[in-house]
Structure 1
């Protein structure tokens, strides 16, 4: 019969093994279009609902050469399409924080687009809770401040036809990809999961971040008004800026050059503070 101390040690060892086994594999999560081990700054990019890591590929060629773009591929998206998308924000954030802590060398900035901005914000808060080094800045795009609710009706529980129509309205234009029935069959579960992360979100009380926040919005984005963009100011004790670019919710695509220039300006401003 095992002694109590031996059984306790064995249980503790099994617990450690289970924890290690449950950790996310960072290699699945991060894609770097232009790897640069000597980069002076890493920009960790989180995509919009249904988006894949590759939507940020072009950005690697537009930013300064000493900035490494590290794009996040969430479960169920892009190359991870065979995995189930995550439907709860807190576990997603905790796994993402684990991945970043394991694979991203500081200094780094989190850039979140649309629902990615919400995930980036909560990931920055997770680093604060853990007491370890977090992002040197938070860049948020096409997203209202997290304490504000969306002006549009929720989409994630609508019927197939209603959800497709709602996605057209959200984009501010007809998206021809949504005319492909087979593609819609594949993507709707992922889109429902991502939209649900945003539409069921309730911010827990907490202190503002101490890192700078830079917010970017589209001049024709009816879902994110200028006041709701500027309201991000409430979530930092550090520097804050808000920039409006031409385009709707997906100015990431329609104003690529201007967006890259705006990001570069914020990165250069951050360099002076690091």
Structure 2
């Protein structure tokens, strides 16, 4: 097992796991979003959380703000962990980064993921309905966080916490909005697509992931809004993720 780095954190080391699941957080998030996954998923799966600079305990490092640059800087740190069976999971902005890493693996001739799982994010070509969020005022960003859910109200009410939360959120919105499909051949792995029934991301948006693989992606919708996977549908999502990864574990 490669040694963990500031960029890749094992949330519950499982040296005998048969599959590594690399998880990419949503805008403004961090590795802690997947803490429960690390112990709730089967013992054959080890959760490795991607940790971008400027987030959580890396708060004193400059944030990245460009999609292509982020993928290019991430890949060398992730590459040592791709020597065995692995899968990629990303939520919202994280889905685009997970996709970029899958494309980078193909570009470098490295092992392909056993599966790419994307959540709460439309596929390439989805219209961006809220642009310029990196330049929104603090009040506008707080209102957006309230609209999307997932951030406790008591956190949004503390100015000192907002001073920590909002800068990486703005940076991540810049990454999200600078996304451009790297193009090239379609992926050589199956793709799972998950979404919330009450999210702004429509089934049509989710269906656009078909283009990256050419195979049926059959989006699955779960009760809840944008952060459905950490709310009322958490157990159902974990079951779906486990079911999708089981074939790779058994090979």
After TM superposition, the score normalised by the length of structure 1 is 0.84
Secondary structure of the residue aligned to 2:219 is strand
Give the match for residue 6 of structure 1: none
Contact 1:230/1:242 (<8 A) preserved: yes
Decide whether the 8 Å contact of 1:47 with 1:113 is kept in 2: yes
Deviations 1:215-271 (A, max 9, x none): 11011112x111111221111145634211111001121121111011011112444
Q: Are residues 1:258 and 2:236 paired?
A: yes
Give the match for residue 73 of structure 1. 51
Q: SS of the counterpart of 2:209?
A: helix
Return closer, same or farther for 1:86/1:153 CA change in 2, 3 Å cut-off. Answer: closer
- Which consecutive segments of 4 or more residues in structure 1 shift more than 4 A? none
1:186 matched residue in structure 2:
164
1:142 alignment partner, one of 107, 110, 120? 120
**Paired residues, number:** 248
In angstroms, what is the RMSD of aligned CA positions?
2.0
Unpaired segments ≥5 residues, structure 2:
none
1:1-274 equivalences in 2 (<5 Å): 27-171=5-149, 175-222=153-200, 224-238=201-215, 240-254=217-231, 255-271=233-249, 274=251
Provide the secondary structure at the position in 2 that maps to 1:266: helix
For the residue of structure 1 that corresponds to 2:236, the secondary structure is helix
Gaps of 5+ in 1: 1-24
Residues 193 and 147 of structure 1: is their aligned pair in 2 closer, same or farther, counting only changes over 3 Å? Answer: same
- The 3 A distance-change label for structure 1 pair 96 and 235 is same
* Matched residue SS, 1:44: strand
Greater relative CO (CA pairs within 8 A, separation 6+): 2
* 8 Å Cα contact 1:245-1:251 kept in structure 2: yes
Tell me by how many angstroms 1:171 deviates: 2.8
Show CA shifts across 1:1-53 (max 9, x none): xxxxxxxxxxxxxxxxxxxxxxxx95111221221122111100010111110
Q: TM-score, normalised by structure 2?
A: 0.91
C-alpha separation in 2, matches of 1:172 and 1:228: 21
Measured in 2, the distance between the counterparts of 1:180 and 1:96 equals: 32
CA distance in 2, matches of 1:95, 1:226: 32
Distance between the aligned counterparts of 1:234 and 1:113, measured in 2?
Answer: 18
CA 131–238 in structure 1, closer or farther in 2 if over 3 Å, else same: farther
CA distance in 2, matches of 1:60, 1:28: 18
Bigger-Rg structure (1/2): 1
> 2:106 and 2:81 mapped to 1: Cα distance?
18
Deviation of 1:172 after TM superposition, in Å, equals 8.1
**1:226–1:95 Cα change, 3 Å:** same
Looking at structure 1, the residues matched to 208 and 230 of structure 2 have their Cα atoms a distance apart, in angstroms, of: 24
